[in-house]
Amino acid sequence: MCELFALNSNAPASAAFSFSGLSERGGRTGEHKDGWGMAFNDASGCRVFVDAGQACDAPLAEFLRRHPIPACTVLAHVRKATQGAVALANCHPFQRECFGRHWVFAHNGDLKDFRPRLDGSYLPVGGTDSELAFCWLLQQVRRAFPGGATPRWPRLAPVLARLLPALARHGVFNMLLSDGHALYAYGATRLVWLERQRPFGRARLLDGGLEIDFSATNHDTDRMALVATRPLTDNEPWKAFEPGDLRVFFEGRSVWRQATSDADDRRDEAALAAELQSAG
Amino acid sequence: MCELFALNSNAPASAAFSFSGLSERGGRTGEHKDGWGMAFNDASGCRVFVDAGQACDAPLAEFLRRHPIPACTVLAHVRKATQGAVALANCHPFQRECFGRHWVFAHNGDLKDFRPRLDGSYLPVGGTDSELAFCWLLQQVRRAFPGGATPRWPRLAPVLARLLPALARHGVFNMLLSDGHALYAYGATRLVWLERQRPFGRARLLDGGLEIDFSATNHDTDRMALVATRPLTDNEPWKAFEPGDLRVFFEGRSVWRQATSDADDRRDEAALAAELQSAG
């Protein structure tokens, strides 16, 4: 499996503190030593850093901890390979362009018997179930908005809420997705989240023990939401996703939530599952 | 305008020496201070680093000079903005996926009245003529191979030779393109190239004066081809592209060449130019 982290904020923010904790789990305090990656994606542009080494001691990871890149949305991933070799091409986050925006995607889990019908608009480069799921997801999103106009999150979220449970039927599927505007987080089995805003206090990493005083590094108007596989700090109120929750974060706030258990969604899910199975 | 650099080799090679020279032109010995980028693309995967600062003093550029990333194809670019703001989203190389491969692209030049008809398969994220040209090019490549199977360079090169002159009719168009297997270089106005192989000797950068002994850093079987806007070293036999040359480099060798002036191509070019103009 793998571990996920994301930050979404209302102004460009550094994720270097959180990444310090996550990257300890990439080979030192955790077993996720089969590659790592970090994406910075907002209106200014998109930068994705991937590396097939260990996040805990890779020179590029050290560079990113020492030279924070402020961004409104940040995704990070440390990998423990389940499907696909230990290779650069299999490191998350994956990146594609859709509707004239860069999209980034990271996955924790393991999908079985997942052989979707791909029309060629997005094809995987590496050999992971994760990149395959991302390609299928963007293909379906593009089909859902055939005019090519960029959907904002209020239109996109219900579409994702219909698509994601079909993926989760194939195994463990926790994921992070962002088009540089909103952050979409789907927690089939385990994800936690947290909002930080004024009054900012102190926080201490569970891994590595680094401490920070957010009141010294943030403005009063700053607001951010964080998502992770497991809590990264030991003194903040991390909250668990309900199994099957899709949450949307925008400008540093949790703005939308839909649970798979909502009865109305079951019919659509079944149709999608049938489509996926027929592609096998 | 901008400056381009590429390396193609038969085994993963470092481009840190050449990048040291190129990045001097990114704000110190040259005026190309509006961003820079470097892509490493081969069978192992694709990594693109972009930055809106100056290559001569950006911390990330310094990291790449100090921590060489060996790859079979490397592209680099230092930017002097002509179209599109100084912004991360406008930094080259640009990246897209096509046929299940990552493609990277960098451009030197300036296209006027270029408004191609885009079907949505690739759309620009930033505001440059360069990214627009890349999107149109990949769209046309995808149309030329509708089965979705990945074309190798012997099939792709003639298609590019037909497409690229249509872009060059809109202004200055020198470009580098790679799918991680071959390197395609088109020189409408100025590009130079060089092959390095045994016996390896010493080289000295024109910018910064750094020297290297390639016999100490290469094996006897290593072979590489380099392409640049202007020679990077002062004691190697750089050769100029003829205006309108498309050259393909594969496994460190120049393997294919076609000049725009070939009479047989003129009819196809005219048809393409008409298609582009009708889209305006």
The pair of three-digit structure tokens given for residue B158, joined into one six-digit string: 């003639």
The tally of domains found in chain B comes to 1
pLDDT of res. B270: 56
Provide mean pLDDT across the span A194-221.
Answer: 95
The pair of three-digit structure tokens given for residue B92, joined into one six-digit string: 């080259």
The angle subtended at Cα A17 by Cα A14 and Cα A22, nearest 5°, is 115
A101 in contact with chain B, both atoms CB, cutoff 8 A? yes
| Residue of B87, B96, B148 with shortest CB distance to A45 | B87
pLDDT of B173 over the 90 cut: yes
pLDDT higher for A279 or B2? B2
pLDDT of res. B261: 56
pLDDT higher for B268 or A20? A20
Domain, as residue range, for A10: 2-278
pLDDT of A279 over the 50 cut: no
Cβ(B176)–Cβ(B74) below 8 Å: no
Confidence band for A273, pLDDT divided at 50, 70 and 90: low
Confidence band for B82, pLDDT divided at 50, 70 and 90: confident
Amino acid at A30: G
pLDDT of res. B184: 98
Annotation marks residue B2 as catalytic: yes
pLDDT of A278 over the 70 cut: no
Please choose, from the candidates A38, A68, A44, the residue with its C-alpha nearest in 3D space to the C-alpha of residue A180: A44
Residues of chain A numbered 132-171 and touching chain B (CB < 8 Å)? 142, 148
B91 in contact with chain A, both atoms CB, cutoff 8 A? yes
Please choose, from the candidates A95, A113, A114, A115, the residue with its C-alpha nearest in 3D space to the C-alpha of residue A105: A95
pLDDT of res. A259: 82
Residue B138: what are its φ and ψ, rounded to 5°?
-65, -35
Residue bearing tokens 């962002």: A178
CA count, 13 A, side-chain hemisphere, B270: 6
pLDDT of res. B278: 45
> Is A46 close to B89, i.e. CB distance below 8 A?
yes
Tell me: the pLDDT tens digits for A164-188?
A: 999 999 999 999 999 999 999 999 9
Q: CA of A163 to nearest chain B CA: how many angstroms apart?
A: 21
Please choose, from the candidates B88, B79, B2, B72, the residue with its C-alpha nearest in 3D space to the C-alpha of residue B40: B72
ipTM over 0.90: yes
Contacts of B148 in chain A (CB under 8 A): 120, 123
What 3-state class would DSSP assign to B253? strand
Query: pLDDT above 70 covers what percent of chain B?
Result: 92
Confidence band for A149, pLDDT divided at 50, 70 and 90: confident
Cβ(B133)–Cβ(B193) below 8 Å: no
| Residue of A47, A59, A96 with shortest CB distance to B50 | A47
Q: CA of B233 to nearest chain A CA: how many angstroms apart?
A: 29
pLDDT of res. A147: 80
pLDDT of res. A270: 56
CA count, 13 A, side-chain hemisphere, B81: 18
Q: CA of B237 to nearest chain A CA: how many angstroms apart?
A: 35
pLDDT of B215 over the 50 cut: yes
Tell me: the pLDDT tens digits for B107-135?
A: 999 999 999 999 999 999 999 999 999 99
A273 in contact with chain B, both atoms CB, cutoff 8 A? no
List strand residue ranges (DSSP E) for B114-270, in order: 171-178, 182-187, 192-197, 202-204, 211-213, 223-228, 239-240, 245-250, 253-259
CA dihedral B52, B58, B59, B60 (to 10 degrees): 50
pLDDT of res. B140: 97
List the single best residue of A125, A131, A141, A178 to mutate versus B (max B Cβ within 10 A). Answer: A125
Tell me: the pLDDT tens digits for B83-92?
A: 889 999 999 9
Confidence band for B187, pLDDT divided at 50, 70 and 90: very high
- How high does pLDDT run on average in chain A? 92
Provide mean pLDDT across the span B57-76.
Answer: 97
Beta bridge partners, B254, equal B249
Look up the CATH number of the domain holding residue B129: 3.60.20.10
> Is B44 close to A96, i.e. CB distance below 8 A?
no
Q: CA of A84 to nearest chain B CA: how many angstroms apart?
A: 13
pLDDT higher for B99 or B264? B99
